[in-house]
Amino acid sequence: MLITLDAALDKPLYAQIRDQIRERIVTGALKIGERLEPSRELAKRLGVHRTTVSNAYAELEADGLIEGTVGRGTFVSQLAAELRQS
């Protein structure tokens, strides 16, 4: 999953991550049930702190777009399908 961050923007990095993942879910680029990259790996790849990615994932989970299970990973939720139809 390609995510690009721009530190020069007024938008916090976690929000940039959240919005780019949200866009991919809503457009169908990320499929229902698809596993997201682990937060630790994504943070390392993007060169940000793991908390930055965790905050993005937490907001996506609060919105019902993803769901995480300890030991299994984080996946695009079934609820995301309803948002695509709206």
Taking residue 29's Cβ as centre, other Cβ atoms within 10 Å add up to 11
Residue 36 near residue 74 (C-beta atoms within 8 A): yes
In the chain, the percentage of residues whose pLDDT exceeds 90 is 85
pLDDT at 73: 96
Which pair of structure tokens corresponds to residue 85? 């139809």
CA–CA separation, 84 vs 53, rounded Å? Answer: 23
3-state SS assignment for residue 76? strand
CA–CA separation, 79 vs 16, rounded Å? Answer: 22
pTM flag (> 0.85): yes
- Is the pLDDT reported for residue 86 higher than 60? no
